[in-house]
Every structure is written in C-alpha cells, then in structure tokens.
Amino acid sequence: MAEDRNEFDGSIGEVVSNLIQYEDALKGYFGVIAAFLIVFSYNSIDLVSNHWEVIQEATTEKTWSVSFTEEVEILEEAMVLQDEEKQTFIFYIDDVDVPEGYLIGQLNITVDDTGNDGLIANNDPTNECDSVLADVREGGLTAQWDDGNNTLSGQANDCQPFYMYLRVYPNYDGAAGDTESVNEYQALLPWQESGWGKGELEIDVEVNTDESLFPGQGDDDEEITITVQVVMFEVNAVEISE
C-alpha cells in the first residue's frame, strides 16, 4: 500500500512549523510590500506638496464674464389672402446658413398687413382696417415651446404690424452675465447644446376684411408679409480678475 501523504491538520504547531519553513520567503514578501508603501507614500506627499497650487487651481471656482456675439438672418414671405381666408406660412429654418461656432438662439416675428389699409382708412373714416390674426404652430421646430417669454399668437385691426417671439435655445436672451465655474470649458458648457432650431416654423394667418360705405374704397383681400429674424449667437467667456 502506498505511503499516506502528510496532510495539514490546522493545529497551531503545524502553522508555526510552516511559518518557520517559509521564513525567508515571507521576509522577502513583506519587504516588497513595505518598500511599495514607502515609495507610494513618498510620491503622494510629493504630489500634494509640490502640486498643491495646480490642484487648487483645478478645483476652485472662479468668476467668468459670459457674453454673446450675434448674427441675424432675415426670412420673409408675402401672400395675398381673401376675406375670411386662412393660410399657413412655412419657413424652413434648416436652410438658414448658420456660421461655424454659432447656434440659433431666438426668432423675432413681424406680421405686417399695412398695405393700402392705412391710406384707405385715412380717405374714408367709415372704413376700418382689416383684422389679421396669426398663430405659431407648436412642434414643427425644436425650440422652447413652454417658455414663459414666448409670444405665439397675435392680432391687429389698426393697420399696424404686430410682433411674435419664440425662444429657441434654452434661457437665451442675448444678455451678458457672470457665472461661477472652475474653468472656461465649464463656463461655456451651458451654451454648447446642439439640436435646437431644427425643422420648420409654421404660422397660420387669417384675414377678415372690412367694407367701406363708399363704392370703390373697400377691398376684399389683404397682402400679408411675415418677416422672421433668425438670431444666432456665439458665446464668449472671460475670467474676471479679483
């Protein structure tokens, strides 16, 4: 029968015997660990002591002056509407030539029906100006449709243009301001979102003309001109020295 192998029985004596047997190996092992800890501690202390200013610079917030440079592109369309007619003006914002580094911030909309109404009203006090109503359709363009500063509808019957407004980029109003940030990249980050101002701007317009008591003085149609100012911006940040 083969000789039985010695098995580790877990006794204290057996543990001590194994430690004595491998004493040299254990000394070498613990020596390596001790050397590693010494080198690591030295490098950590050196990093903190010699580069503290760099670390502090990278983690301390500073004040930055954020300003905007704007470019404007004008889109315009005119259409003649009959009495009680409703038409949709469509502006393809994707076709706007946005300069490199710029984003679309807001749309300023002018609805103008002046035409001959003012002249007719001046010559004939009984002839009132035509009534014009306009509504911006929501959803056709990536923009801030729920922004409280938007003006998405308007009307006029005084022979004067009226104005509407749509904020496209979140919180953009063109006003400069200060912000707290650790570096320029973080200061500019809120103004570098892509994807806003994509799609079509659709505006529904309806006309109701007024009749004159004098033959030949009234009209039964109206020319409506809509002008859209596409405001684009580039952001700049300058650190404010204390």
CATH number at residue 179: 2.60.120
What is the total count of domains within the chain?
Answer: 2
Domain housing 19: 12-59
C-alpha 48/C-alpha 69 separation (Å) is 41
> Which residue bears the tokens 């973080």?
186
pLDDT of residue 2: 47
Residue 1 located in a structural domain: no
Are 32 and 109 in a shared domain?
A: no
- Enter the tokens of residue 164: 């509407």
Residue 126 located in a structural domain: yes
Give, rounded to a whole angstrom, the gap between the first and last alpha carbons of the chain: 91
Residue 197 located in a structural domain: yes
Are 210 and 144 in a shared domain?
A: yes
DSSP string, 45-66: HHHHHHSHHHHHHHHS-EEEEE
pLDDT of residue 130: 87
Are 228 and 208 in a shared domain?
A: yes
Are 200 and 101 in a shared domain?
A: yes
Residue 2 located in a structural domain: no
> Which residue bears the tokens 């007024």?
210
Residue 6 located in a structural domain: no
pLDDT of residue 34: 80
Closest CA to 168 of 192, 188, 196: 196
- What's the average pLDDT block by block, 10 residues per block, for the chain (242 residues)? 53 62 65 78 65 54 95 97 94 96 98 66 60 95 98 94 98 96 94 96 92 56 95 96 72
pTM, full prediction: 0.71
One-letter identity of residue 214: F
Are 156 and 181 in a shared domain?
A: yes
Last residue of a domain, one of 22, 44, 59: 59
